[in-house]
Chain A
Amino acid sequence: MLNGNQPKSTWKANLGDIIPLHLAQEIDEFETQMELRRQGKVDEKVFAEMRLRRGAYGQRYDNGRRHDGEKSQDIPFPNVELTKGPDTKWEAPGMQRIKIPYGGLNGEQMDVLADIAEEYSDSILHITTRQDIQLHFISLDDTPDMHRRLAAVDITTREACGNSVRNVTACPLAGICRDEAFDVTGYANETAHYFLGHRDVQDFGRKFKVAFSGCAQHPCGLTSMHDLGLIAKTRVVNGVEQKGFEMYVGGGLGAVPHLAKLFDEFVPAEELLPLSQAIARIYARYGEKRNRNKARIKFLVSKLGLEEFRRLVLEERQTLENDPDWTNWIEHIESYNEAALPEPAFGEPIELGEAFEQWQSTNVYRQRQAGFVAVTLALPLGDITSLQMRRLADITRRFTGDTARTTVEQNILLRWIHEADLPALYQALREINLHASGAQSIVDVTACPGTDTCKLGIASSRGLGGELCERLANKNLQYNEAVRDIRIKISGCFNSCSQHTVAEIGFFGSSRNINGFRVPHFQVILGGEWDNNAAHYGQTFGAVPSKRVPEVVDHLLTLYMEERQNGEKFREYIARRGKKAIKAEIDRFTSVPSYNEDHSYYADWADAREFTIGDIGVGECAGEVVSLTDFGIALAEGLQFEAQVAIEKTTDQTSVDNAARLALEAMVSAAQALIKVENIDVSNDPAVIVDEFKTRFYDTELFFDPYAKGKFAHYLFNAYEHRDKPKTLDIALRLIEEAGLFIEASHACNERLQAAQLIAPVNPFTELLSRKVTAVSA
């Protein structure tokens, strides 16, 4: 093999006998598609979806442009005309998502993951909020070999992205949890494998996420925020215990969060797959296909109503032909039981001092099975190096029956540790620097990829996350009983990938214009509930400058520690103080020093580039108009806030109607503010405003978000059209959320107008129109 005279060995030839045939074929097919795309024989859009279904995502700057802080520069990729999707350069680095059903890993798989991270990525493995693993800066040309090496250890990347069934997640404690009804591991894995590549899941309008939980009260499974959520339950029929699931549908985060609805109180294990299949078929048949913003199953359930949706599903279930794969695995379900090593690996006590004690207090979970514990490795922002992963594979083999799990909090869990082995395990972890304490505590901050690598990122979620982690850990808050269980989650934009809406303290990135400079901001979301499978979503309290977020967090924690009553939880404290009072506390941190005083506020965390474009030479007239617009949008924000306050304490019909009216007014007011950019004399009549907004900003696509397109404008149109219809509390709440997003979109649109104008000091409106710019890359 090392001799140049011998035929060159390839991974394909090398692993040919090891990779399961169907996996090998899929990868070969993908490689063929790549070749056809290179030859221009496959359309770029079609190829993009194929690529996504192999888990190969795009990554920031892959359109070949990057803002360097002063200007946007072209990146001179080789073969720049060759694309792997619309406006996506072939040669640009991408992201690979690797599906890990229920988060289960063994040592051999960890070894291979370490190898490929070293060889094809940057030696960092990132655990995601859905138990997947991601690698960044991947060359598409390397993906077939990478997929083969993964397939050789039984890992597929198939349908890790794209419009299909995504990774099936499950509580990482499944099988060892003290509170679970039963171990959901096998059910999750069988569901994942049943649907993998299944013909009924290939025609979805959007992704479909499934989660399993062992109990209803704890958050580990997060079933409330999934398209299909399953909670383990048992019941006794004629003296025989039966296993089954409480089934939920239509949950989801994203821009407007939806809590899942109860579909069935008890689905017996034998019915799990057929019923899920019927749901998938109904979703594929009736779900929205053209407008991806309305395509998640939550919209279908809302549109049809739960009753009608259920009727259709049950009818569909009757027509399904019996499939032995529905149930033939049930008799082997016990094979999923994990066991510990027969004896402790070391067992001798070792004197390790206070650090060990502290680590034990935060990272160790006592299993249901006496004498055994599970240990969480707190990975900073979900990252682990390839060398650590390889050493960890050894530790997993040495101390457990060769199994580990990734968690939705971006950590790794080692289970079935003999309690007597804890000191030796701690020592082994310390050797590879994986012994950080504070797992799942306030210092264990979760962040989505944000502006680091995500194409949609607005602000640096990871930069902020790293900063908060460090500051909070320096204060040892992970050992502070009062605040340690508060979760902090940060998303780089409104898409909620960090699951910030279910955290006690959440943030999502946005940007604001201050005196003509762009300033990175984060919206503050408070009062989400992580417990009870994420049963409550938090509410927005306004945006603060990114660089002031640590002050905001400090302030909120201090207030809570000083003022909490009778051990109330953070969420309860926020609710008791009320929106107005808490908002006033947060508003103390909204100002920034002028650019000349301190320009650090005008750059993001861990990024030296200016968020803005430096000294601006705008004409006076435009400046005036723009500031009127800013003013108007701020007014709209006030109205949206009033709407929230209206139903905070009382939810009688009058309050509900008031809230709904205010939410609509907020949207109309933001729309009016935008119109002022072009027509300073815009009328105050809502009908005229909506109409004018439509012609000036919607029909021209000026208001379009580069990703969400016209979605936010429809919030206004719908709200206005249905303004006289009766309102329920649910509707009012939705309108408030929508108003918040509409206002965000107005800010963004306003900034695009200004930014475009910065480049050419002419009327921004006509200039943009003539160029049809919907986004200025930054």
Chain B
Amino acid sequence: MNIERFCVKFLARPGTTLDDAVFIEVFHEWIRRHTLPGILLDVADYRHVPDGPGIMLITHEINFAMDYSEGGFGLLAQRKLGQGTTQQERILELVRATVTFGALLEADPRVAGQLSLEGGAFQFLSNDRLALPNTADGFAAIRPDLEATAAVIYPGQAVSVARLDNDPRDRLTLVVQAGTVDMQTVAGAVGALV
């Protein structure tokens, strides 16, 4: 399986008390200071859209969104392009970028204690209907890559990889589930730069 466009989403744990406006400030600062790897471009504000992508940090490689779409509030990372010659490398790279983002955000003084992301589970969304459609075949084609990647992300843990039963026109979505794990721990496992 070889796709470039896909997403991962880590949900927020219940109890988030933050005003989303804080993200605007944080993300602008990250751009100014080049806090994240990659080419950081801009902040997009979609707070007015119900069930929308909230506040986004747009980079050349990835669109990060503090996203409210179906399934709940969380950190969604939409990969547009990037490194990695195998699919597993590419997935791992996106997870690494996302947990770097998540761990940094949780640790920011303006956010700390008010937002906690669940690192022990994530969704994988195919964002290429042509190469990886929302079908049983699509699921079968990507599943081994996700299982292998999950073993790296959650070493020594039992992990399940299941297909989300959604509208066939929506994106193929796989739910990768380990136990309860903090972002920081996942970051450590995947060698993220935090």
Interface residue B53 (Cβ < 8 Å from any Cβ of A): yes
Cβ contact within 8 Å between B28 and A383: no
1/0 contact string of B14-34 vs chain A (CB within 8 Å): 000000010011001101100
CA separation between A383 and B60, bound complex, in Å? Answer: 23
Contact in complex: B42, A61 (CB < 8 Å): yes
Interface string of A123-147 (1 = CB under 8 A from B): 1100000000000110100000000
Is B28 touching A606 in the complex (CB atoms < 8 A)?
A: no
In the complex, whether B56 has a CB less than 8 A from a CB of chain A is yes
> B162: CB under 8 A from chain A?
no
Best-surrounded residue of B21, B49, B69 (most CB of chain A within 10 A):
B49
Most-contacted residue by chain B among A73, A434, A609 (CB, 10 A):
A609
Q: Verify B141–A452 contact, CB threshold 8 A.
A: no
B63 and A122 form a contact (CB under 8 A): yes
**How many A-B pairs fall under 8 Å by CB?**
120
Residue pair B128, A4 in contact (C-beta under 8 Å): no
Q: Report how far A470 CA is from B21 CA in the complex, Å.
A: 14
Partner of B63, one of A11, A78, A137, A470: A137
Question: Can you list 6 residue pairs at the A/B interface with Cβ under 8 Å?
Answer: A61-B41, A68-B28, A78-B60, A114-B169, A122-B78, A384-B49
User: In the docked arrangement, what's the CA distance between A61 and B56, Å?
Assistant: 16
Nearest chain A CB to B63 CB, angstrom units: 5
B137 part of interface (Cβ distance < 8 Å): yes
What 8 A-B pairs come out closest when comparing CB atoms?
A433-B50, A68-B32, A608-B25, A380-B48, A2-B141, A608-B28, A606-B45, A466-B48
A76-B39, A139-B80 known; A380-B49 Cβ under 8 A:
yes
* A465 to B47 alpha-carbon distance, docked (Å): 12
Assess whether B45 is in contact with A9, with CB atoms less than 8 Å apart: no
Question: Could you tell me if A2 and B28 are in contact, using CB atoms closer than 8 angstroms?
Answer: no
CA distance A10 to B132 in the complex (A): 12
The residue on B at minimum CB distance from A73 is: B32
For B70, the chain A residues whose CB sits under 8 A away are 387
**Interface size class for chain A?**
35 or more
B63 touches A68 (CB 8 A): no
- Give the contacts of A34-81 with B (CB-CB under 8 A): 60-61, 66, 68-70, 73, 75-78
Taken together as a complex, chains A and B put the C-alpha atoms of A61 and B65 apart, in Å, by 20
CA distance A2 to B132 in the complex (A): 7
- Which residue of A has the minimal Cβ distance to B65? A122
Q: Are B51 and A137 in contact (CB under 8 A)?
A: no
What are the residues of chain A within 8 A of B58 when measuring CB–CB?
Answer: 93, 122, 137
Q: In the complex, what residues of A have CB within 8 A of residue B114's CB?
A: none
B53 CB contacts on chain A under 8 angstroms? 122-124, 385
A91 in the interface, Cβ–Cβ < 8 Å?
yes
B130 touches A14 (CB 8 A): yes
Assuming the A-B contacts A66-B42, A75-B41, A122-B56, are A390 and B131 also in contact, with contact meaning beta carbons closer than 8 angstroms in the complex? no
A463: which B residues are within 8 A, CB to CB? Answer: 45
CB-CB under 8 A from B47, the residues of chain A are 466, 606
The answer to whether B42 and A608 touch across the interface, beta carbons within 8 angstroms, is no
CB of B163 within 8 A of chain A? no
A139 and B79 alpha carbons, distance in the complex (Å): 13
Residues facing B in A422-461 (CB within 8 A) are 432-434, 436, 452
Q: Which one, A11, A111, A608, contacts B169 given CB within 8 A?
A: A111
Residue of A nearest to B21 (CB): A606
List of A residues within 8 angstroms of B21 by Cβ: 606
Selected contact of A124 from candidates B41, B43, B52, CB within 8 Å: B52
Q: Give A436 to B49 CA distance when docked, in angstroms.
A: 11
Q: Report which of A9, A69, A78, A470 forms a contact with B130, defined as CB distance below 8 A.
A: A9
| CB within 8 Å for A387 and B69 given contacts A2-B1, A115-B129, A609-B28 | yes
Check A489 for interface membership: any CB of B closer than 8 A.
no
Choice from A69, A119, A388 contacting B28 with Cβ under 8 Å:
A69
Question: For A78, what are the chain B residues with a Cβ–Cβ distance below 8 Å?
Answer: 39, 60
B51–A91 CB distance below 8 A = no
CB distance from B115 to the nearest CB of A (A): 17
A606→B130 CA distance, assembly (Å): 37
Partner of A452, one of B45, B50, B138: B45
Assembled-state Cα–Cα distance A113/B53 (Å): 17
Does B127 have its Cβ within 8 Å of any Cβ on chain A? yes
Within 8 A of B (CB), among A600-643: 606-609
Known A119-B128, A470-B48; further 11 A-B contacts with Cβ < 8 A: A2-B131, A61-B41, A61-B42, A111-B169, A118-B171, A122-B65, A385-B52, A385-B69, A436-B50, A463-B45, A465-B48
Enumerate chain A residues within 8 angstroms of B167, measured Cβ to Cβ. Answer: 390
Q: How many angstroms from the CA of A433 to the CA of B51 in the assembled complex?
A: 7
A23 to chain B, nearest CB (A): 19
Contact (A118, B41) CB under 8 Å given A2-B137, A111-B169: no
Q: Which residue of A lies closest to B58 (CB)?
A: A137
A485-510 vs B: 1/0 string, CB under 8 Å? 00000000000000000000000000
Residues of A within 8 A of B138 (CB): 2
Is A462 in the interface zone, CB < 8 Å from B? yes
What are the interface flags for A91-119 relative to B under an 8 Å C-beta threshold, 1 for contact and 0 otherwise? 10100000000000000000100110011
The distance in angstroms between the C-alpha atoms of A466 and B47, with both chains bound, is: 8
Query: B89 on the interface (CB 8 Å rule)?
Result: no
A462 to B24 CA separation, bound complex (whole angstroms) = 14
* Nearest neighbor of B63 in chain A, beta-carbon distance: A122
Q: Does A472 contact B (CB under 8 A)?
A: no
The answer to whether B51 and A122 have CB atoms under 8 Å apart is: no
User: Which residues from B are CB-within-8-Å of A11?
Assistant: 130
Give the shortest distance, in Å, between A129 (CB) and chain B (any CB). 17
Given A137-B63, A390-B169, A390-B170, A124 and B46 contact (CB-CB distance below 8 Å): yes
Say yes or no: A607-B49 contact (C-beta < 8 A), given A2-B1, A61-B42, A119-B127: no
Nearest chain A residue, comparing its CB with the CB of B40: A75
CB-CB under 8 A from A2, the residues of chain B are 1, 131-132, 137-138, 140-141
- Give the shortest distance, in Å, between A292 (CB) and chain B (any CB): 28
Give bound CA distance, A78 to B140, whole Å.
35
Q: Which residues from chain A contact B49 at a C-beta distance below 8 Å?
A: 124, 380, 383-385
State whether the Cβ of A469 lies closer than 8 Å to any Cβ in chain B: yes
Is B157 positioned at the interface, with any CB of A under 8 Å from its CB?
Answer: no
Q: Which residues from B are CB-within-8-Å of A466?
A: 45, 47-48
Q: Which residues from B are CB-within-8-Å of A606?
A: 21, 24, 45, 47
| Minimum Cβ distance to chain B for residue A364 (Å) | 20
Query: In chain B, residues 45-89, which have Cβ atoms closer than 8 Å to a Cβ of chain A?
Result: 45-53, 56, 58, 60, 63, 65, 69-70, 78, 80
A462 to B47, CA, bound (A): 11
Task: Judge if A659 is at the interface, Cβ distance under 8 Å.
Answer: no
Instruction: List residues of chain A with CB within 8 A of the CB of B169.
Output: 111, 114-115, 390
B113 smallest CB distance to A (angstroms): 21
- Nearest-neighbour CB distance to chain B for A113, whole angstroms, equals 12
- A210 CB–B CB distance under 8 Å: no
Shortest C-beta distance, B130 to chain A (Å), equals 6
Q: Let me know if B44 is at the binding interface, CB within 8 A.
A: yes
Provide the bound-state CA to CA distance between A14 and B2, in Å: 18
**A176 interfacial by beta-carbon distance below 8 Å:** no
* Closest chain B residue, CB of each to CB of A385: B52
Report the separation of the CA atoms of residues A380 and B52 in the bound assembly, to the nearest whole angstrom.
11
Q: Which residues of B contact A609 (CB under 8 A)?
A: 28
Chain A residue at smallest Cβ distance from B31: A68
Chain A residue with minimal CB distance to B29?
A608
Q: A70-B32, A122-B58 are in contact. Are A607 and B52 (CB under 8 A)?
A: no
B51: contacting residue among A60, A61, A66, A432, CB under 8 A: A432
Query: Cβ of A607 and Cβ of B28 under 8 Å apart?
Result: yes
Which chain B residues in 108-142 approach chain A with CB under 8 Å?
127-132, 137-138, 140-141
Distance A371 CA – B84 CA, assembled complex (angstroms):
59
Task: Contact check, B32 vs A387: say whether CB atoms are below 8 A apart.
Answer: no
Nearest Cβ on chain A to B87's Cβ, whole angstroms: 10
